[in-house]
Structure 1
Amino acid sequence: MVSVDDFSKMVSAVYACAVDPGQAAESITTIYQTLGARGGALLVAQGAVRNQIAAVLPADAAETYRHHYWRVDHVLDDVEAGPVGVVRTGSELMTPDHRSEFLNEWNRPNDLEDGMFVRLTSGRATTTFLVTAPRRTEPFGSAERLKAMNALTGHLQQALRTYDKFAESGRVNNGLVAMVDGMRHGTALVGPAGFLRCLNSSAELILQTADGLSLHAQCITATVGSAQAQLGKAIHTAIVGDRDGIRCGRSMLCARPSGRRPYVVHIVPSQPDDAGALMIIVDPEHQTMAAPALLAQLFSLTRAESQIASGIARGAPPKQLAEEMSVSLVTVRTHLQHVFDKTDTHRQADLARLLTNLLP
């Protein structure tokens, strides 16, 4: 079972990698070990070439894959051609086939015949994350593991966008963030004692509301005493280090006096030569949806199709949408099928997941 603490460790590992790509192997190891897999990898495909950004695999599996077997990897071909954000399983993708060079000469000898796979990005360069495991009597992609992987997918996508923002700002190497305002979650770069260096508009709004977190004397503080103690310790551990002097990330819940669901706060170290930390504040009460105009632009949807897609993303059933739009249920279902075709999705749940992950 993946506990809350275990999941928090995976999330912290993901964001630590976004701040310092040098921690990619360590982050992948944390994830695959937590899920009970045997290895993991992050890959990017562009055109006819697929490269390993980072891979933690048994023996010489990573090297042989890099030298040859990526060319015949039909499993990732299927994942990269599929919808973004949808977790696929080895049971679905890795059916034994005596004709498959990839399955018989690479997967089987390395005892990696099962796993979970998810396409994280679209566009010219497609990024995919996977964990791989031996084939056993029970499929690796259990309901519990799928739930954890689905929950982790959004964080993986956010971490990629975070890294891209840092790279664009030209400040990845020294950890100073000059451009974070386009990110969905509240994001701030802090120094010792939570001293604020910079923040995006989402974080600014959270601090202005002062419902659990606020800005006092230019330092981010928690308004509930017990949470402040945890926050201070997490920032100290990320910047100064633990008892052994090791800087590491932590995740915590920050209670809100209003009674709303607590913020989820992730704090990870910045670069080794910078006494700073990245704070990411997730508000479970706030779910940003892409505007209908953006959906129309991205997927060439008509006005009616955009309205229906937005409705599905907020959880409205087709019957309710028909009433809101004053059209028949048949018309709504026809438009919805067009939306599925244009967005390369097949179910309302897949469509909703895609649309809620569009914004950075």
Structure 2
Amino acid sequence: MDFFGYDDLVHEIYAAALEPIRWPDVVMQIAALCRSPRAMLFTPTLAPPQGGFTHAFNMPVAEMELWMKKGIHEDLLVEALVRKGWLKDGITVTGDELVPRAQLLASSFYRDLWQPTGIGRVCAGIIFDGSDLYLPPVALSVYRSFDDPDFRSEEVEVVRRLVKHLARALGLMFHLSDLAFRVAATTAALERLAAGVLVVNQHGHVVFSNHAAKRLFCRENVVQLRVDGVGGALLNLAPRLKKHERAFQDALLRALDPLQATMRTVPILGDDGIPACVVHVVPLMEESPFRANQEGAGALVFVYDLESAAEISPDRLMSLYGLTRAEAGVATEVVRGGPTEVMAGRLGVSVNTFNTHLRNVFGKTSTHRQADLLKLLLALAVD
């Protein structure tokens, strides 16, 4: 492996989290490092109009347009991932592991999309599997033709390692996606977020909290600050949520451990079983402008106060966005969370009816997915 090229690429991946204009260049560098003529970083089940994205290198425009119209719904490999139970964060596989060669060659997916582009082989990594409400499904695919050699185990391992770095960088990017990325490195930008945002240093001490986080501290029923023996303020959950404290602290420790530095999502339920909040802990790399100090990178902690968002009156949503009462009920049900069947059951409607109302809500609120709708409700909750 080209270690110098790999290190430079990792640096570019984290830079692209704050400057998304860099992503096409990152994908080009990934293809070069993997000795492949084509590569794509994309949301396999979401087209751009639905909030997805596609960053491709050396993919013809006509084929890309066809893929966005057709292939996103007919991707043979995505279907195989789902069927085999392999659509999980961090999984890295080759096309031959997913679909037999004869089946691929006989498919319209290959004839219409791959063959015209000269694609025959793929090594794909699942960055996000879509199970997290706040992170859309994202995959990395590195392509070769049938004339090129198969992907060796060492090359698959390179893709697997890149997927880990991409997950960290994209996790931060999605949390900041509603801001102008060129000002994302300023504390003023963090103040604009409806979610509570805290920066902690390598010791776990809180060194910055935005307005939404300060409001949570004042309420003292979700997160609290505790002064330790060296005079720093540590983050804790409120006593009523103590059964989640261990998972919460473990997420912080993993993010701050330079050997792990992994992003964690901790859903926190109240005594009634309804989500009280969701906490995301995102490790800060050394290159990040959010670094808490010069001694260590620290972490960003996002606290989504679901209880406040769920308290928004249906009448207010009806007035602001022209929702019907049924649609307003669906909107607030999204805050409570759960599978569609569960949310529909709580409202006493069918899944089809629930989905119809939800599509109407997306259209009237100019959102495209549940995470965007939740951000909107959180913003209304702190007005």
User: What TM bracket, shorter-length normalisation?
Assistant: 0.3 to 0.5
Q: TM-score, normalised by structure 1?
A: 0.47
More helix by share: 2
Q: TM-score, normalised by structure 2?
A: 0.45
